[in-house]
Each structure stands twice: as structure tokens, then as C-alpha cells.
Amino acid sequence: MGFAGVCVVGWLIIERQWVVAGFLYIAFSLADSLDGTLARAQGRSSQFGAFLDSTLDRLAEGVILGALGVTFAENGQKWIVAACFVALSASFLVSYTRARSEGLGIDSNKGGLMGRPERLVLTGAGIFMGSLGSVLEAVIVVLAALSLMTMVHRVWHIYRALQPEPATAINQGSPES
């Protein structure tokens, strides 16, 4: 249901219905953020359900940033279309680096400024204010930059976590003992 709602929001973005799209995006994103918690509380969670939810979350980000990109392309704003692609790629990589690090047994890789909740809030605020001059463009640039920074932070964390422990010197005693 949340993904279908986000598709409607994508259409509203292309139609430039900014305020309605912003409200609905926030509502559907909030509902989508709670569905896993609700499934667990009702005893209806499954590994496939978690996998499907994560997959649809990525697809939803693609729909929204794609719709924004289409809108900017229609306006002839090539540079902001490029920023949408950067934001989308970085967003996917933020999620991928977390999932991959967990697959490597590193489950502490949740750092950085732009996890999914932060991306949802920033994107929702930008959509809501889409008709206010260049606010949405600025939000997309900030989203792209902070998502890239988060991805780099997580890659660095994985790099450090996978480095071998430094050898410790064992005191063998001094030659005079």
C-alpha cells in the first residue's frame, strides 16, 4: 500500500501538485516506516517480508527522485537532474553499504547523516516546498551531498572494521633479567 501511494505521489510531483504531494509523501512514508513494527507486533513478520519491504523502499526512492528528475528535465534544469541522479545513487549506496556490511558481520555500520528516516524527512520537506522558488533544488543538492558523505562514512567504517588487529608486542623480558 505504501509503495502504491508513493507512485501516486510521483504522479502528483510530475503534475506539480507540490503541497498535496508533500502531505501524501509524508503520510505514506510514515506509514511505510511503521509497517515492519506493526508486522512484528502482530506476529506476521517474515524474512521475505523484510526483504520485500527493503526492496520496495529503494524502489519508492527511485520513483520519487525519478519524478523530481522528470519535472526538472521538463524545466530544462539539467544540472538539478544530475543532482537527482547523484542523490538516488548515493541513497542506494547508503542502504547497500549497510546491508553489505551486515552480510560481512559488521552490524555497527549505521552512521552518517542521511539514513533513510533523514532522507525521507528532507525529501518530504523539499516536495512540500516545491513551489517556493529554488527551495526544492537546494534540498536535492543537500540530499545528494549529505547522502554521498554518509556513503563515504560507511565505506570508511567498513574499511576500518575489516583491517587486521595490530600485533601486540609481548613482553619477552629484557636481556638483563
Q: Please list the active-site residues.
A: 57
Look-up: residue for cell 523484510? 50
Q: Are 151 and 93 in contact (CB under 8 A)?
A: yes
Residues 54 and 32: their CA atoms lie apart, in Å, by 10
Q: Which cell goes with 160?
A: 576500518
| Cα 116 to Cα 96: distance, rounded to the nearest angstrom | 12
Q: What number of CA atoms fall less than 13 Å from residue 161's CA on the CB side?
A: 17
Cell 556513503 belongs to 151
